[in-house]
Amino acid sequence: MATVTITFTRGNMNDVDSDIGSLAIGAVARSEVITLPATGDLVALSTDNVVELLASDDCWIAIGPTPDPADDSAGVRNGRFLKADLPYQYVVTTGDKIAGEV
Question: Rounded to two decimals, what is the model's pTM?
Answer: 0.86
CB 6 within 8 A of CB 40: yes
- How would you write the pLDDT of the chain (102 residues) with one tens digit per residue? 999 999 999 887 665 555 555 566 667 899 999 999 999 999 999 999 999 999 999 999 999 999 999 877 777 788 999 999 999 999 999 999 999 999
Residue 22: phi and psi, rounded to 5, are -80, 95
- Amino acid identity at 74: A
Q: What whole-number distance in Å separates Cα of residue 89 and Cα of residue 11?
A: 10
**What is the C-alpha end-to-end distance of the chain, expressed in Å?**
10
Residue 83, Cα to own-chain centre: how many angstroms? 13
**Alpha helices, DSSP H only, in the chain?**
none
